[in-house]
Amino acid sequence: MTQTVTASYGSADKAVNAYDELVSEGYPREKLYFDRDSNEVKVIVPDASRPEIEEILARHEPDEIRARPYED
């Protein structure tokens, strides 16, 4: 199953840093989404990759991380 993992950040800087780290780790940009209005980073990943994604997102001190099934 595929998940959408979303991290909400209190500042744009934290969100940008999280997004940039995901890109530098080799995650494809077409699976990443950065919402500048809400400072959210969303990642579409298989279940097996979810813990790694959550760990990367957590390094940047999000207010919240949540996951839900991906709807195509």
User: Could you tell me how far CA 19 lies from the centroid of its own chain?
Assistant: 7
pLDDT at residue 72, as a whole number:
72
pLDDT at residue 30, as a whole number:
95
- Which residue would you say has higher pLDDT here, 71 or 24? 24
User: Could you tell me how far CA 63 lies from the centroid of its own chain?
Assistant: 12
Give residue-wise pLDDT tens across range 1-29. Answer: 899 999 999 999 999 999 999 999 999 99
Give residue-wise pLDDT tens across range 28-66. Answer: 999 999 999 999 999 999 999 999 999 999 999 999 999
Strand partners, 16: none
pLDDT at residue 48, as a whole number:
93
